[in-house]
Amino acid sequence: MTGGSFGLRFLRGLSGIVTAGLVVLAIGVAVTQYLGHSRGFPGPGGLSVAAHIVAAVVAVFAQRVTDHRRGFSAVLGAIVVFVATGLVLWTQWWQ
């Protein structure tokens, strides 16, 4: 498959980086919860872990759409990645 226009390739790359970061963040939050629980310290909590994992899964599926579609579908997939990431950051880190 060809990459398409420069703008779409850039958007795919940026949303891919954001998706990878969200997956790493979800893993980090889950590991922190596990370690905190096993050592008797409070962790981020089950709700926070679940929110991060759900957001990461949504972002991975949306990134797959972004990478394998063209035009509006690809852009919409990237928007879903950014919205899912923004929601988890806003609700779990800034509130």
Tell me the pLDDT tens digit for each residue of 69-91: 999 999 999 999 999 999 999 99
The CA R_g of the chain, rounded to the nearest whole Å, is 15
pTM for the full predicted model: 0.89
User: Distance from CA of residue 17 to its chain's centroid?
Assistant: 9
- Residue 49 CA to residue 92 CA, distance in Å, equals 9
Q: What is the pLDDT of residues 33-61, one digit of tens each?
A: 999 989 989 889 999 999 999 999 999 99
